[in-house]
Amino acid sequence: MAFLEYAAAPESTSILNLKSQYGLFIDGEFVDGHGDVFETISPATEEVIARIAQATPGDVDVAVAAARRAYDRVWSRMSGSDRGKYLFRIARLVQERARELAVAESLDNGKPIRETRDVDVPLVAAWFFYYAGWADKLEHAGVGPNPRSLGVAAQVIPWNFPLLMLAWKIAPALAAGNTVVIKPAETTSLTAMLFAEILQQADLPAGVVNIVTGPGATGQALVTHDDVNKVAFTGSTGVGRMIARQVAGTHKRLTLELGGKAANIVFDDAPMDQAIEGIVNGIFFNQGHVCCAGSRLLVQENVHDEVVDRLKARLSTLRMGNPLDKNTDIGAINSAAQLERIRTLSDTGEGEGAERWTADCRIPDKGFWFAPTIFTKVSAAHAIAREEIFGPVLSVLTFRTPAEAITKANNTPYGLSAGIWTEKGSRMLALVDQLKAGVVWANTFNRFDPASPFGGYKESGYGREGGRHGLTAYLEASGWDAPAEATSTPKKTRKAAAK
């Protein structure tokens, strides 16, 4: 056996203590839903992991009512420093149960354990730690003195980073003093249920966070509920547009974090080996299920062949397979539906005349898999250069001058992120000014930090998550003479809210 066929090194699932069925998490307790029960499967094996309750509009109503009660009676009256204590506690519990969360996330989502262990879960903890620190410093958030929380936040999150997106939504909402009803994606509810256990462990007052599971209809019932003050959505542009229409004309505040078709721009003076790594990380991280993925590679024409050659050589070393194996680089596609979409768009690309190259990976018999793929000879008019594929598929285009690079990079309805690879600092700064993208990475890609705001231009959405900016999405200004935030802490908070 060749050394490079590393012996199997699977992370054990024995650390998990999963129930066979999960209910909804409402008012601090797990309760049965009134809808049908659906199965959540492992996309790598298609085996059933657990059964999940589906929330009906009635269940959503109960959840929103619980959140409203908790807001009125407990959370909005609690001092910022006390809210911070709960958030710190949650962060520490996430760290304590990090391995368990990483295994569960890999199992349910299909992404490699290397990523859940080294990226997703550490970032989840970081997000709670970061916003815990903000909870008693809201007057510095930039919305004026004595800012006020909004009330009940309805949050709907996607399946690509299930737990991380949950943290991005919940941490700033709670720090700012709001209560939450959140709906995880249908295919990835598992870690939200483990997170609910963590909330119980942390003794978070009942009703401050409520989790309702189910399909899109559950989400719709949530965002259209009359008694929510704020809607936050991360997902596709199509659904985002629908939510914007539904929320229009109401009192609800809205932030949307939607799709992307990011340009990753490589100049001929780029640090070549690191650029190759960055391109790989930009589009093949998390099987390309990343809204800010660098899915359009813009290469300066004089280094195109070299970059593509090196890229192919590098992709040939990626290891696809069991997401729980610690040496796996590329895991499973999250669902059969997503796999179908990636296949269809790739076939379209081939049909339009782009040249397809796919890494030689052994595809497992069961599960949903798509080997890393590069399209060359792509022109700006091709569908694969315009539509978000949300899979491990890279479209390579060329440019000749910096001006052309900017024009092509901005020539998209999206504007979430972009990347620049050059050793020339002045060019880097000039380009950052002209790229219409919420995040621009220079000589790196897909780096996240809770202190850094994240969000889009154009059809990639509005509002920012992360940093001080992320906090303002959950706050509103009050008059200069508004009373200061309450400082007393109710005793026995969970019980109090439950009554």
Partner 1 sequence: MTITHPVGLDPTQRAVRLLGGDLTETALRLHLDGLSGVDAVGLEQRAADLSTRSIKTTSKAWALDTIIRTCDLTTLEGADTPGKVRSLVAKAITPDASDPTTPSVAAVCVYGDMVHDAVTALGRHHAAGGSEGIQVAAVATAFPSGRASLAIKLADTREAVAAGADEIDMVIDRGAFLSGRYGVVFDQIVAVREACTRANGSAAHLKVILETGELQTYDNVKRASWLAILAGADFIKTSTGKVSPAATLPVTLLMLEVIRDWHRLTGEKIGMKPAGGIRSSKDAVRYLVTVAETVGEEWLTPQLWRFGASSLVNDVLLQRQKMRTGHYSGPDYVTVD
The reply on whether position 7 binds partner 1 by CB under 8 A is yes
Closer Cβ to partner 1, 272 or 496, answer by number: 272
CB of 304 to partner 1, least distance (A): 14
CB of 171 to partner 1, least distance (A): 26
- What span, in angstroms and rounded, lies between the C-alpha atoms of 129 and 91? 6
From 100, 291, 292, 485, the catalytic residue: 291
- What span, in angstroms and rounded, lies between the C-alpha atoms of 391 and 346? 10
Mark 234-273 with x for binding to partner 1 (rule: CB under 8 A) and - for no binding.
Answer: -----------------------------------xxxxx
The gap from C-alpha 147 to its chain's centroid, in whole angstroms, comes to: 27
β-pair partners for 396: 297
Helix-strand-coil percent breakdown of the chain, rounded to 5?
40, 15, 40
The gap from C-alpha 193 to its chain's centroid, in whole angstroms, comes to: 17
- What span, in angstroms and rounded, lies between the C-alpha atoms of 75 and 208? 7
- 292 an active-site residue? no
Burial 480-495 (b: 16+ CB within 10 A, else e): eeeeebeeeebeebbe
Here the tokens at position 159 are 């399946």
CB of 367 to partner 1, least distance (A): 21
The reply on whether position 301 binds partner 1 by CB under 8 A is no
Mark 321-350 with x for binding to partner 1 (rule: CB under 8 A) and - for no binding.
Answer: -----xx-----------------------
Closer Cβ to partner 1, 86 or 285, answer by number: 285
CB of 8 to partner 1, least distance (A): 7
The reply on whether position 143 binds partner 1 by CB under 8 A is no
**Phi, psi angle pair for 174, to nearest 5°:** -70, -40
CB of 77 to partner 1, least distance (A): 45
The reply on whether position 3 binds partner 1 by CB under 8 A is yes
- 29 an active-site residue? no
Sheet with strand 37-41: strands edge to edge:
21-22, 48-53, 37-41
Neighbours of 215 (CB within 10 A): 16
| DSSP H or E stretch at residue 243 | helix 237-247
Q: Name which position in 6, 96, 353, 487 contacts partner 1 (CB under 8 A).
A: 6
The footprint of partner 1 on residues 23-52 (CB under 8 A) is none
The reply on whether position 1 binds partner 1 by CB under 8 A is yes
Neighbours of 409 (CB within 10 A): 27
The reply on whether position 114 binds partner 1 by CB under 8 A is yes
Residue among 253, 251, 277 nearest 266 (CA): 277
Amino acid sitting at position 217: A
β-pair partners for 248: none
The secondary structure of residue 136, as a DSSP letter, is: T
Closer Cβ to partner 1, 238 or 271, answer by number: 271
The reply on whether position 14 binds partner 1 by CB under 8 A is no
CB burial class (10 A; 0-12, 13-18, 19+) of residue 1? exposed
Closer Cβ to partner 1, 70 or 101, answer by number: 101
- What span, in angstroms and rounded, lies between the C-alpha atoms of 318 and 41? 25
The footprint of partner 1 on residues 429-468 (CB under 8 A) is 443-444
- Cβ-proximal residues to 137 (8 Å cutoff; 6+ apart), any chain: 80
The secondary structure of residue 364, as a DSSP letter, is: P
From 11, 100, 186, 257, the catalytic residue: 257
Here the tokens at position 262 are 């990011």
Q: Name which position in 21, 250, 274, 407 contacts partner 1 (CB under 8 A).
A: 274
CB of 270 to partner 1, least distance (A): 7
Closer Cβ to partner 1, 54 or 281, answer by number: 281
Size of the site for partner 1 (CB under 8 A): 25
Closer Cβ to partner 1, 72 or 277, answer by number: 277
For residues 191 and 164, the answer to whether their CB atoms sit within 8 Å is no
The reply on whether position 304 binds partner 1 by CB under 8 A is no
Residue among 392, 55, 10 nearest 192 (CA): 55
CB of 98 to partner 1, least distance (A): 15
CB of 177 to partner 1, least distance (A): 37
Q: At what angle do helices 98-109 and 190-201 cross, to 10 degrees?
A: 160
The reply on whether position 15 binds partner 1 by CB under 8 A is no
Q: How far is CA 394 from CA 5, 134, 295, 354, in A?
A: 26, 39, 5, 11
The footprint of partner 1 on residues 409-428 (CB under 8 A) is 423
The reply on whether position 317 binds partner 1 by CB under 8 A is yes
CB of 418 to partner 1, least distance (A): 17
Closer Cβ to partner 1, 70 or 292, answer by number: 292
Here the tokens at position 349 are 């690309």
Here the tokens at position 144 are 């004026």
Kindly indicate which of the ranges 5-13, 251-259, 361-369, 428-436 contains the residues binding partner 1, using the contact rule CB under 8 A: 5-13
Closer Cβ to partner 1, 3 or 480, answer by number: 3
Kindly indicate which of the ranges 16-24, 36-44, 274-282, 380-388 contains the residues binding partner 1, using the contact rule CB under 8 A: 274-282
Closer Cβ to partner 1, 69 or 117, answer by number: 117
Question: CA Rg, the chain, in Å?
Answer: 23
State the catalytic residues: 257, 291
Name the residues that contact partner 1, by CB under 8 A: 1-9, 114, 118, 269-274, 277-278, 317, 326-327, 423, 443-444
